[in-house]
Structure 1
Amino acid sequence: MHTADSRDAVAHKGTLRIDLLRVGLATAVILLAPLVAMQFTHQVAWTGFDFAIAALLLSGAGLACLRTARRVAHRQPWQRIAAVAAVALAAVWLWLELAVGVLFKLGS
């Protein structure tokens, strides 16, 4: 049985901070695209709610991908890629569903 000592907890806390920083920066960079596009065209019309939902979805998917990659790190590389791809595809499906209702058409 393995017990975590204080060094493991401190190392994990530092890794978590770095992961949160990476995911936060990546989310901010991705969300710059619609923000900049809104300055040049009226075809992109996001509200604050749209940005909040996108930020929540992107950061959640990023953290889930990192967590999944760590949980399957000891397995074969193709298993790690498949697990992260499954999480990423679920996030893309949810994004599409929220954007245009690909599978479920509510109210029609």
Structure 2
Amino acid sequence: MKFKLKIMITNKQRSFVIYGLAALLLVIPFIGMQFTKEINWSGFDFLIAGIFLFGTAFCVDMVLKMEKKNARRMFYIVLILLALFLIWAELAVGIFGSPVAGS
């Protein structure tokens, strides 16, 4: 006899988790700044990071609400996260050498 455990999560709960993860990621450097001088973010850095993280959370949330097929959901979410990571890496260390990174 097999038992399936199916957890029911509402759209509101899922949205709370998605935006909560974005907020948690934004709080990590703030806490790190309290303990070390190596992390030195300005208010502008937090603003840009917040725009990227909450913009990504919004896009992922919209994909999860609008797309019904799981394969397409995962494809779009992977694309969104890949775009976030590439832009973040470019802003952090300039992996592409664009003027945006200050190169």
Same structural fold, with TM-score higher than 0.5 when normalized by the shorter chain: yes
Native 8 Å contact 1:69 1:83 kept in 2: no
Q: Deviations over 1:71-100 (max 9, x none)?
A: 322x2x222111111111111111111111
User: How many percent identity over aligned positions?
Assistant: 30
Q: Which runs of 5+ in 2 are unaligned?
A: 1-10
Q: Does 1:90 align with 2:49?
A: no
Q: How does 1:1-108 map to 2 (within 5 A)?
A: 19=15, 22-73=17-68, 75=69, 77-106=70-99, 108=103
Which stretches in structure 1 are left out of the alignment for 5+ residues?
A: 1-14
TM-score of the pair, normalised by structure 1: 0.70
* CA RMSD across the alignment: 2.2
- Cα distance in 2 between the residues matched to 1:28 and 1:38: 16
Look up the equivalent residue of 2:56 and give its one-letter code. Answer: A
Alignment length (residue pairs): 90
The TM-score with structure 2 as length reference comes to: 0.73
